[in-house]
Amino acid sequence: MNTELTEARKPPPQPYDEQNEDVSPEVPRQSALSFPWVFLLFVAFRWLTLLLLRPGGFIRDWSDFDTFLGFASLSDYGLYPFVHYWLEWPPILPWVAVGAYQLSSQLPAWTDDPRLWFVLTLGSVYVLFEAGNLTLIYLISKRLYRTERRNIPVLRPVWFYALLFVPLYTMLGFFDAVALFFLLLALYLTLREQLVRSAIATGVGFMVKLIPLIFLPVAVRQLWSLAADRRAGLRDGMLYAVSVALAVLALAAPFLLRQPVWLLAMLRSLLGRSSWETIWAVMESYYGFGVVAGNRLDAAESAFAVHATTLPWLLIALLFFALYVIIWVQRADYAQPRNVVALTGFTVTFFLLYSKGYSPQFLIYLLPFIVLLFPNRRGVVYSLLLTVLNVLEQPIYFVLVPDAHQLLLGIVVARWLILGTLTLEFASVIWESTLRRLAPVRRYAPVALSALIGIGLLISLPEAAQSYVQRQLREEPAAPLIGYLSTQQARAQANLLVLSDHALLARFKPYLHDIYTVRVLGGANLPPEAPNRALEGALGEVTQLWFVTQQAGETSVSIPAELGNTLVRYDFVNNYQLLLLARRGGSAPPPLARFANGVDLIGSEVEKGADHSVEVTLYWWAVAPPAQSYTVFTHVLNETGHFIAGHDSFPGNGQTPTHTWRRGHVYADQHTVTLPLNLPYGRYIVVTGMYDYDLRRVQAYQSDGSPYRDSAIPIRELNLP
């Protein structure tokens, strides 16, 4: 058979139409969703999210809605923003918040959450502007991607933005979507050569939040590029700047005419606030979030910083300004919409690199330019990396592990590297031929940054987990009891811990599961007829066990016979009782020391602390409550017994003096011993004891009845520093 002839007679293949692809011959052709349908889905999703979800989820429900509600409620007393007090934001949104509050207060408050109507009223404004942001991204995308294939790839940036987490989270609690709208509007109007309207949008955006003003140099650069000569470019740029200033002045006029001091206080707060959540903040050893200090009711306020400023900010600002000007004057074809969008993205990124402060919601100003210029896998990687860093910063770091400073340092450095890479990406769009040599860097940057952040996360996880555990333990009502059970003295008595009720499991198991076998005696979760297989299996050949219960008063604890007899009982704060039970034989454990004043030292914990210190925790048992207040000394001695450093105070740093102790109760007593900075390396001994008002040490005895030398009990030897 002549296959060539046969193939030649075949009809030519039909062009592939991905818009009207059939699923099967029986299914009629259907066109892709057009923008109005995407817009409808977007608005419905955003508004229903506002109604039914809360920012922070299960971790912490907090947002700027709470802040805005606080100052908006002052209007009930006749106090209004920038008329009677200043704020760190320009006036427009605070006044919108006041209007939303007054409108929402016309409805009865919802019982479960009185904020409901205020959040829905003000939040609906945010939804409106978020819908505007999606529309502007679509319109700008049409300018960038003109194609005969309907809606492709014009809708790709639209879907990309709609699926991002950060814009949704920002809308649920912050007003940055409003400021972003005016930034995008100014850009879109510039692309349409409606420069006066663009300038007005920039000015209005500045009165919402200052960031939209960074579009001013972009517009001026485009005008200068398109002008017939430099004089015309300078004239057009000046006209644009004047139009922006007039728009700002028109909106600020009511406040300037009435009380200009409040607007001036706002401007001073922007210049005087300290750094936060940036590379500059960690260089100044600040690991907190952005806070503006000062009395909002004082128009002459000048103390806005929350930490000392140690960096030469004027020099830093001049260096960044000079670098931006050098890049700004480089020749480029700004008649192309893609280059104007890229210059805007570059300017936003460059500003974030320079900015003294950063808040997670600031990312919303950058993401539209990523989705517009890189609606591909590169853009997805950059967006996801920045989103992950945002979530790690807030709420993971600031809420769950605020002491894990290395985590914040890693987040800040990683974000700075990504922003630096994005400046290169945006610059490569504008000056592609000039920066062609850097193409390999751009090609592998997403993979390298992903690997770097992934490795950093793995390294920081142990510290973050430890920070979380320690933070929760500090806030745990049963912390003294948990601390005692963690001591070597308690662990030596038993390795089984039985809790009287299932409700206690969440308090004790997370901290003690790697030390003890933890079991539950009973609780509401266990049906009366059901056997307790876990406890039965754990008892086995156990001879002694610790038993924990919680009950008010001095009533005796009911112990099931199968658990054994009580050898000793310790009462702790918050009505916790700890009992050592013996199933066969056994005797009460001897204390570390018995004091002549009726106090026993039953446990201790000594650890190296930060900044040349030793952390000591002592557990005192008031067998017979002392009649007077005794001072506890905790000393560090060298191998020859000479004093090196110490800490003397009443127990609990004076909060629990011995004359207030109750019989049978155990008191956790923490001491921090600061060591000399020039301490030579060696073996040192930590000792403790008590003395009275006359500085006479209370005699302390060992378990065999022999006295301790100098009434000082050695509790730990360790190598220092």
pLDDT score at 56? 83
User: For residue 71, what are the contacts with CB-CB under 8 A and spacing of at least 6?
Assistant: 81, 85, 87, 94, 97, 296
User: What is the helix (H) or strand (E) element at residue 373, kind and residue range?
Assistant: helix 367-373
Kind of pairing between the strands at 713-720 and 599-609: unpaired
Per-residue model confidence (pLDDT) at position 352: 97
Q: Check if the beta carbon of residue 547 is closer than 8 Å to that of residue 559.
A: yes
Listed in sequence order, the residues at least 6 apart from 466 whose beta carbon sits closer than 8 Å to its beta carbon are: none
Residues of the chain with pLDDT under 50: 1-25, 27, 148-151
Mean pLDDT for the chain overall: 91
Query: What are the backbone dihedrals phi and psi of residue 75, each rounded to the nearest 5 degrees, phi first?
Result: -65, -20
Q: Specify the pLDDT at position 483.
A: 96
Share of the chain above pLDDT 70, in %: 94
Task: For residue 34, give the amino acid letter.
Answer: S
Instruction: Name the one residue in this structure whose structure tokens are 């009366």.
Output: 528
pLDDT at 3: 40
Strands (E), 505-543: 517-520
Percentages helix, strand, coil for the chain, rounded to the nearest 5?
A: 50, 15, 35
Tokens read off for 659:
């004359």
For the chain, what percent of residues have pLDDT higher than 90?
80
At residue 360, the 3 state secondary structure works out as: helix
Cα(87)–Cα(196) distance, rounded to whole angstroms? 29
For residue 491, give the H/E element and its range.
Answer: helix 488-491
pTM of the model as a whole: 0.86
pLDDT at 556: 67
Q: pLDDT, tens digit, for every residue of 400-458?
A: 999 999 999 999 999 999 999 999 999 999 999 889 888 888 899 999 999 999 999 99
- Cβ atoms of residues 650 and 657 within 8 Å: yes
Q: Which of 240, 236, 220 is nearest to 228 (CA)?
A: 236
- Distances in Å between the Cα of 714 and the Cα atoms of 241, 674, 709 are 75, 18, 10
Q: Strands across the sheet with 700-701, in order?
A: 666-674, 613-622, 599-609, 593-595, 700-701
Rounded CA gap, 312 and 424, in Å?
Answer: 26
Q: Annotate 392-416 with b (16+ C-beta within 10 A) or e (fewer).
A: bbbbbbbebbbbbeebbbbbbebbb
450 residue type, one letter:
S
Q: For residue 206, what pLDDT is reported?
A: 97
Tokens of 349: 């990124």
In this predicted structure, what is the pLDDT of residue 18?
Answer: 38
Helix (H) or strand (E) holding 615: strand 613-622
